[in-house]
Amino acid sequence: MITTDALSPAHHDAVRDLLDAVTAHDGISPLDEAAHLALVGGTAQHLLSPVDFGNGTDHAGRAAAEAADEGALAGYVSVLEDGTVQGMVHPEHRRRGHGTALLRAALALRPDAGVWAHGALEASMAFLSAAGLHETRRLLTLHRPLDAAHPVPTVPAPTLEGLRLDTFDVERDADRWLEVNAHAFADHPEQGALTRSDLDQRMAEPWFDPEDLLVARVDDELVGFVWVKQEAPVGTADADDSSDNGASRDSQNVVPQDAEIYVVATAPSVQGRGVAGYLLATALERLHEAGVPGVELYVEADNTPALRLYEAWGFTVSGRDVQLRAAGEG
């Protein structure tokens, strides 16, 4: 097994190949966004189990990783700075001890680890339960169609004097955005801990569009926001591609993908004043007008008020992720 805090280019590619194979087989990605981002930056420990790697000897550090076989991987685990653990084993190399060895190594690094089972797949849950871990957290995926049969509820504009909607401006809004986000998600272990570096990293992602980060202002002070994540439509050609018949990009057969309500939040000073609902309705209406077929979002399973609100808006549960910890932890 290889342990490193920085993936070599070859190992990065091998993890990506492994991720593609596992996602295609299981129907869900075994890594969340934070783990994806940590593959190219951030502070994480990477545990790798190569297909043809030796006799179970542990190798630590970048030099050892680069010196070791950089071929295909049988398994991989990410250990983030906050103790979040998630990983995967190639479908063709399961039940050969790779998962057990990786989990033991991760728990040795972080006995307090919160281990994610994305999708709460039966095999994953059985494996982690057999290892002595127990469920401590459940995250639900909610989905809502945006077709004509599912109209967006009409929400009246909040009666807050001076309220207006605007597009996010990084130079003007970043610090205040982080402040509102931290207050709104003070009890959320990931979202509430976002830093300026985390924000910059997400804005550098290919999917980021400032037009999709809508903010609410009162007297020019940012008091809320809704951030929509949209991947490129299926079938979209590169900007410099051209067809033989000279057809424009707009006339190509592109199919929008479902979007994600990445985050919606309001400052304590305006909570309960209808700002969040107004932001959400505006975002959903924009997505509907753009032809986006559906939208999803994530919510903690024990957040009963939020679940009731989203159910009233036509969202239904479409998936679940479970976090587990060792006995006595969490």
183 domain-assigned = yes
240 domain-assigned = no
7 domain-assigned = yes
59 domain-assigned = yes
Q: State yes or no: 229 annotated in a binding site.
A: yes
Paired residues of 198 in beta bridges: none
Burial-class residue 186 by CB neighbours within 10 Å (0-12, 13-18, 19+).
Answer: exposed
Q: State yes or no: 176 annotated in a binding site.
A: no
Considering 92, 107, 131, which residue would you say is the last residue of a domain? Answer: 131
Considering 108, 131, 154, which residue would you say is the last residue of a domain? Answer: 131
Same domain assignment for residues 195 and 262:
yes
213 domain-assigned = yes
Same domain assignment for residues 125 and 151:
no
Same domain assignment for residues 91 and 219:
no
Give the model's pLDDT for residue 322: 98
Same domain assignment for residues 225 and 257:
yes
Same domain assignment for residues 21 and 110:
yes
Q: State yes or no: 245 annotated in a binding site.
A: no
Instruction: Give the integer Cα–Cα distance in Å for 217 and 180.
Output: 12
Q: Give the range of the structural domain holding residue 43, as residue numbers without chain letter.
A: 2-131
Q: State yes or no: 73 annotated in a binding site.
A: no
Q: Number of folded domains in the chain?
A: 2
Same domain assignment for residues 197 and 77:
no
Give the model's pLDDT for residue 189: 80
pLDDT means per 10 residues in the chain (330 residues)? Answer: 93 96 97 94 90 55 48 94 96 95 97 97 97 97 95 84 93 96 88 91 93 95 96 61 44 77 94 91 94 96 91 95 87
Amino acid type, 308: R
Same domain assignment for residues 160 and 192:
yes
172 domain-assigned = yes
**CA nearest 81: which of 34, 12, 29?**
34
Same domain assignment for residues 295 and 216:
yes
Give the model's pLDDT for residue 242: 44
Paired residues of 49 in beta bridges: 75
Same domain assignment for residues 167 and 314:
yes
Domain with residue 225: its CATH number is: 3.40.630.30
Q: State yes or no: 304 annotated in a binding site.
A: yes
Q: State yes or no: 305 annotated in a binding site.
A: yes
Q: State yes or no: 159 annotated in a binding site.
A: no
Q: State yes or no: 81 annotated in a binding site.
A: no
Q: State yes or no: 161 annotated in a binding site.
A: no
Q: State yes or no: 25 annotated in a binding site.
A: no
Q: State yes or no: 311 annotated in a binding site.
A: no
Same domain assignment for residues 120 and 78:
yes
Considering 103, 131, 159, which residue would you say is the last residue of a domain? Answer: 131
C-alpha distance from residue 69 to each of 65, 76, 105, 121, 178 (Å): 8, 14, 19, 31, 42
Q: State yes or no: 96 annotated in a binding site.
A: yes
Same domain assignment for residues 150 and 265:
yes
Q: State yes or no: 98 annotated in a binding site.
A: yes
Q: Strand 84-89 vs strand 73-80: parallel, antiparallel, or unpaired? A: antiparallel
Same domain assignment for residues 192 and 125:
no
Instruction: Give the integer Cα–Cα distance in Å for 325 and 106.
Output: 12
Q: State yes or no: 268 annotated in a binding site.
A: no
247 domain-assigned = no
Q: State yes or no: 236 annotated in a binding site.
A: no
259 domain-assigned = yes
Give the model's pLDDT for residue 258: 94
Q: State yes or no: 307 annotated in a binding site.
A: yes
